[in-house]
């Protein structure tokens, strides 16, 4: 039985045992496989190769933890019941089969790989290990295969809706300084609309995916848990139109208060973002890459289930200045603490961050939710 077959066959036994893979590790594994399928769409051979690579790396950890948690006799019985085996009778997990691992455990003087408790990093072959030292709060347990370069990175695409296209955006000279400023509006949706949006979000938990950032080295967004950690929902149903209509009704006043000129909206990107315990988004702007340079105005609408069950998750908009072709924070910022039914508007070029969220229950329903997006010109 191959490592991939182990992952496919024992979903209800090995793969759902918290002693072997934690809930977050299983979620991250699912995201890895999803992105592998998306990246190699139409190329079945490539899909199988990537899935086999992931399975091989994860399988080593499954093998070690299974022996530690269940004991060799139980695991070997599971293997004996397997329907498909390799020609040599071993189950392949990376470079060590389960039978080989069992033999190592039983042979005096032959050390077996030490069991890794849930929470240990699951390494992917070919991906360099991170430098030793403290990891950020909520650091991922399964690391993505592709990481963009370090430094400020732009959020990946939300659902893109074309509104009207009247002109192209030319290259704009970057200002020497960026002063933090925003517009905050309270009680943005009617109470019934807020309740319905919250219910819609909780009902679609299974459709949330790992958040992405735009990478200059990739045609698609990529997952980088060192820079951004959260989950997003792209299909907003009727709430995309509802939010856009409400935004248009206040847009003229918002632009005047921000000191921005009126502009023709060419497209709108929207997504619902769920941030749970340890999730964050480091210092970045929303239009820092060529593919999203037409983003002009950012909006962030806060909502959550009552009573509020998380702390942190502040939106901090920083004063910054240009230094060596990159914006550097001045050390001063405006901090917006998430408040129910509140929306924040600010220019996309402003540097901002989301501080780590603290949600002790870890329950999805207790997350910090935003319906956020960008108006393009």
pTM as predicted: 0.58
The C-alpha atoms of residue 359 and residue 372 are separated, in whole angstroms, by 20
The structural domains of the chain, with segments of one domain joined by +, span: 3-106, 154-376
Any residues with CB less than 8 A from the CB of 323 and at least 6 apart, and which?
Answer: none
Q: What is the pLDDT of residues 48-105, one digit of tens each?
A: 777 677 766 666 666 666 656 655 555 555 555 544 444 443 433 333 444 444 454 4
Residue 323, pLDDT score: 87
Q: Could you identify the residue written with the tokens 């200059």? A: 216
The answer to whether residues 284 and 353 touch, using CB atoms and an 8 Å cutoff, is: yes
The C-alpha atoms of residue 141 and residue 139 are separated, in whole angstroms, by 7
Residue 157, pLDDT score: 61
What homologous superfamily is domain 154-376 in, according to CATH? q2cbj1_9rhob like domain (2.60.120.620)
Q: State how beta strands 351-354 and 231-233 pair.
A: unpaired
Q: How far is CA 9 from CA 143, 181, 317, 335, in A?
A: 23, 54, 48, 48
Residue 277, pLDDT score: 97
Q: Whole-angstrom distance between the N-terminal and C-terminal Cα of the chain?
A: 54
The C-alpha atoms of residue 10 and residue 4 are separated, in whole angstroms, by 10
Look up residue 337 and give its two tokens.
């603490």
The answer to whether residues 364 and 202 touch, using CB atoms and an 8 Å cutoff, is: yes
3-state secondary structure at position 58: helix
Residue 3, pLDDT score: 46
Residue 114 pLDDT greater than 90, yes or no: no
Mean pLDDT of all residues in 344-366: 96
Residue 159 pLDDT greater than 70, yes or no: no
Residue 283, pLDDT score: 86
Residue 361 pLDDT greater than 70, yes or no: yes
The C-alpha atoms of residue 183 and residue 165 are separated, in whole angstroms, by 26
Residue 17, pLDDT score: 66
- Closest C-alpha among 132, 318, 328, 146 to residue 225: 146
Any residues with CB less than 8 A from the CB of 342 and at least 6 apart, and which?
Answer: 184, 185, 186, 187, 188, 301, 302
Q: What is the pLDDT of residues 232-245, one digit of tens each?
A: 999 999 999 999 99
Mean pLDDT of the chain: 74
Across 83-140, the runs of DSSP E, i.e. the strands, are: 92-93, 96-97
Which of 6-20, 132-146, 214-228, 350-364 has the least mean pLDDT? 132-146
Mean pLDDT of all residues in 349-372: 97
The C-alpha atoms of residue 362 and residue 358 are separated, in whole angstroms, by 9
């Amino acid at each position: 039985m191959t490592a991939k077959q182990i992952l496919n066959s024992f979903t209800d036994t090995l793969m759902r045992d918290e002693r072997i893979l934690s809930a977050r590790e299983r979620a991250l594994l699912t995201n890895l496989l999803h992105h592998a399928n998306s990246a190699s769409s139409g190329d079945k051979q490539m899909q199988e190769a990537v899935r086999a690579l992931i399975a091989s790396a994860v399988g080593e950890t499954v093998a070690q933890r299974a022996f530690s948690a269940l004991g060799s006799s139980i695991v070997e019985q599971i293997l004996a019941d397997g329907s498909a085996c390799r020609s040599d009778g071993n189950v392949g997990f990376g470079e060590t089969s389960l039978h080989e691992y069992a033999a190592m455990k039983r042979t005096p003087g032959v050390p077996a790989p030490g069991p890794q408790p849930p929470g240990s990093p699951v390494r992917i072959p070919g991906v360099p290990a991170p430098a030793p030292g403290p990891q950020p709060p909520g650091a991922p347990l399964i690391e993505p295969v592709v990481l963009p370069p370090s430094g400020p990175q732009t959020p990946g695409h939300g659902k893109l809706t074309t509104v009207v296209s009247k002109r192209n955006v030319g290259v704009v000279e970057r200002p020497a300084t960026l002063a933090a400023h925003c517009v905050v509006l309270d009680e943005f949706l009617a109470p019934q609309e807020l309740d319905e949006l919250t219910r819609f979000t909780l009902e679609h938990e299974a459709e949330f995916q790992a958040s992405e950032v735009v990478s200059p080295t990739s045609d698609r967004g990529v997952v980088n848990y060192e820079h951004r950690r959260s989950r997003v929902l792209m299909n907003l149903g009727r709430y995309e139109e509802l939010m856009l209509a409400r935004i248009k009704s206040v847009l003229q006043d918002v632009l005047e208060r921000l000191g921005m000129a009126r502009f023709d909206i060419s497209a709108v990107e929207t997504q619902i973002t769920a941030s749970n315990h340890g999730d964050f988004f480091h210092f970045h702007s929303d239009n820092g890459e060529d593919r999203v340079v037409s983003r002009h105005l950012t909006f962030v609408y806060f909502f959550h289930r009552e009573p509020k069950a998380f702390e942190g998750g502040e939106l901090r908009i920083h004063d910054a200045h240009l230094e060596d072709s990159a914006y550097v924070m001045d050390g001063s910022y405006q901090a917006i603490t998430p408040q129910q039914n509140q929306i924040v508007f600010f220019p996309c070029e402003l540097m901002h961050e989301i501080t780590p969220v603290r949600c002790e229950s870890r329950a999805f329903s207790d997350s910090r939710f935003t319906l956020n997006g960008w108006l393009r010109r």
